[in-house]
Structure 1
Amino acid sequence: MSEPALVGAITADGTFTARYLHWAGHPSDTVAALRVIWADHFGRDTTATVDCLLSRDWHSLCPTCRHRRPPAATVAVAGVGHALATQQLVARGPVVRGHVATAARHHDTEWMYLIDAAAHTIRVYEATVHDRWLPHSLHPLD
């Protein structure tokens, strides 16, 4: 089962910048995809990985996918996944920014995956019933 999410970056003080991810699987699957994207496609360059993730909203992260027919209204980004087409970006809005301690849930998102470049980790948050973000897990990028 898939639930919409946010994916992006976080700083040491808890501020984040993120984009919409429509098709996020279980956190273990999304963390695994982010690790492959970081290591294989961007050669462990965290800045380049974050820049790419923040460049657009995403339908799915699938670094090794070989769809015969990509999802409708998406743009394939080799080694990363499928980005949402421009007309869909307007519906979700621009980049999402905030502080995890005070930020409200964005639309119908259930998860938030944030790369901490300084710590080389992926922080996973889950949406609460009160539309706030609760820390779920912490994973090393490597």
Structure 2
Amino acid sequence: MNLTINGTQQQVDVEPDMPLLWVLRDELGLTGTKFGCGIAQCGACTVHIAGTAVRSCVTPVGSVWGPVTTIEGLGSPQQLHLIQQVWIEQQVAQCGYCQPGQIMAAAGLLGQNPAPSDAEIDAAMSNLCRCGTYPRIRTAVHAAAKALQEL
């Protein structure tokens, strides 16, 4: 099976029903995408497929319909993605385990809606955070939206 992951063509020899999460982590060594619940409820496994935020733990690799972007491909150490920069500036993370999924969900939201309201942020950011950083997450999404409007 051929996939485009973070802009690079990858060939994997796996069953088509294998969850994308395990292809990313176990086959390709991209461990930034986290396993949380395995039932698409927590969001730790969020990646983008063709620009849409999806839960990779329940997405069979055989159903991937476009290029996949993981947290590793969102930005680079030399040039962080805007949402990653804002996450650091706003000191969003505590333990950090859910943050790759949170960042991917936020980037997906801003890609669809560059000026979301609080209600739209709350609806789109359905990822779970055991540390309770939801107020900082909302603040960071608003800060990123403001920065996008200023570009």
| Structure possessing the higher relative contact order (Cα contacts under 8 Å, 6 or more residues apart) | 1
Relative to the length of structure 1, the TM-score reads 0.25
Relative to the length of structure 2, the TM-score reads 0.24
Greater helix share, structure number = 2
Structure number with larger C-alpha Rg: 2
